[in-house]
Amino acid sequence: MKKTTAILLALALVLGLAACGGPKPEDAVKELCEAMKSFDLDAIQSMVAGTIDQEGLFGEDTDLSEDETGLVDFIKTNAADMSYNIVSSSVSGDTATVTTKLDYKDVSPVIKEIYTEYFTQMMGMLFGGEEPDEAAFASIIDDKIAGVDRLDGTENVVFDLTKTDGAWKINEFPEGALKVLTGNMEAGMDDLGDLFNEGDWDLGNSYEPKDFPVSDLVIFENEEAAMIMTGGHMDEWGDCSFDILCRNKTADKELYFEVESVVINGWVTGGLFGDTLEAGKEETSQLTIWRSSMELPGIEDPDRMDLGIRIINTDWLSDDEPIVQDVITVYPTGLSEAQIQEPARPSMPGEKVAVDNDDVLFMVIGEDDNGWGDMAGALLVYAENRTDKALSLSWEDVKVNGVDTSTYFGETLPAGTKGIFGLSFDSESFKDGYITDYESVEFTLVASDAYDWAADPVFKDSFVYLP
């Protein structure tokens, strides 16, 4: 009897040990947590049934293997400070739930400071004619990592698991675990939005938003087409937008509706508009006038708008004449012609007259340090069209300090209008020629009929600008 009892007890012990020695869901979670501490994304993915968007952790354009800014390395190093503790575990057949306490270092204050500083420097570099690069970003990251404290964070994460082929696997990588893995960096990015909303930034948006008293103002209409201004608005940046309803009344023609030029209070400004409509269709689109194009002439409100409009058949094989090609004047703010004052041309020290004749007045009135993309700083030029037809102005054979230089300048001035424009130079030409200041600028100015390219230039001559 004693021998039989001993055998039964031994058998029970063996069976119990065998049961205790099987795979546990807690072990799978512990293994995952160790992979998180190592920031081993491949190992984490192998333990999770669902797909983890590895590229999306730091943004779609971030290559984790080629990041040279130090941001990814910072997040990886931060993950090593994580610790974990299994709080509870429950098993029901082949499914299990494991609740785990994860203690980690919250990097959101660091991330907020990094991007706040980078945004500030980026804007300064752009307006100074430089391009932000990874080196600038990396330097900011190093400074903020050293100077901004991380926070202590805790996250209770629930892991759902399923037992497959004798092994426990986590169903999905929980959002809380992702937050811990990345040190809650997303909250730092969210704080940037709060920063702007709280008004802690002064980005020049000092205009009071307002609606213009314009509704159903007919710009043009006949039996074939119509353009109607249905509304207007100024936003906090001072940019003005106008809703224009385009209506194709034809039965069988596709029409192109265009605003070729915009003259506000006598000054040429930016703001082109184009829309293509099939026969019998109508659509409302926006004409936007950027504040930057109104600032130099000193325009506050678009009291008078001279719109160069054109409506044509898109079938270039047809012999149709434009349905309309004309300049139409509208008064969006409700002022009358007698109440509108055209701003005088701003006078700047050192301005030089290049051309002053019956057709054209052209002056270099100053320098603009701003550069965008691959363009270096610009010269500010004033142009006045004294003819009764639209003129296209362009520069040719440009040399800066004796060095051949690529440039972009091409503007169209409707009859009797004036404008201030920026003339930008190719930054590579400046680098290759070691150009840091304007000592001399040689150019050929060409003024041509904007609608008759076969005609001889109205004016063409060469000049040298000496600051």
Chain mean pLDDT for the chain: 82
Question: Average of pLDDT values for 437-458?
Answer: 86
Q: Are 274 and 257 in contact (CB under 8 A)?
A: yes
Of 45-54, 73-82, 364-373, minimum mean pLDDT range: 364-373
Summarised one tens digit per residue, pLDDT across range 395-424 is 888 888 888 887 767 788 999 999 988 777
Q: In angstroms, rounded to a whole number, what is the distance separating the alpha carbons of residues 394 and 444?
A: 8
Q: Helix, strand or coil for residue 58?
A: coil
Residue 196 CB neighbour total at 10 angstroms: 11
101-105, 331-335, 362-366: the lowest-pLDDT one:
362-366
Mean pLDDT in residue range 224-241: 93
pLDDT of residue 323: 95
Q: What is the CA radius of gyration of the chain?
A: 34
The pLDDT score that the predictor gives to residue 66 is: 56
Window from 176-180, 334-338, 395-399 with minimum mean pLDDT: 395-399
Model confidence pLDDT, tens digit, residues 201-220: 444 457 889 999 999 999 99
Residue 163's nearest CA partner among 85, 91, 100 is 91
Mean pLDDT calculated for residue range 58-75: 64
Q: What percent of the chain has pLDDT over 90?
A: 44
Query: CA 71, 76, 77, 79 torsion: positive or negative?
Result: positive
Q: Could you tell me the domains of the chain?
A: 20-53+67-197 (3.10.450.50), 210-339 (2.60.40.2550), 352-465 (2.60.40.1230)
User: What is the per-residue pLDDT for 409?
Assistant: 76
Task: State which H helix or E strand residue 327 sits in.
Answer: strand 324-330
Residue 13 banded pLDDT, cuts 50, 70, 90: very low
Dist CA 239 CA 264 (whole Å): 13
Helices (H) and strands (E) counted in the chain, each on its own, are 10, 24
Beta carbons of 225 and 247 less than 8 angstroms apart: yes
pLDDT band at 320, cuts 50/70/90?
confident
Q: For residue 123, what pLDDT band results from cuts at 50, 70 and 90?
A: low
Highest mean pLDDT pick, 52-61, 166-175, 449-458: 166-175
pLDDT at 21 over 60: no
Q: What SS3 state is found at 431?
A: helix
- pLDDT band at residue 369 under the 50/70/90 scheme: low
Residue 9, number of CB atoms within 10 A of its CB: 10
pLDDT confidence of residue 278: 95
Is the model's pLDDT at 128 over the cut of 70? no
Residues 214 and 304 sit within 8 Å (Cβ to Cβ): no
Mean pLDDT throughout 65-86? Answer: 83
Q: 118 CB contacts (<8 Å, ≥6 apart)? A: 132, 136, 137, 140
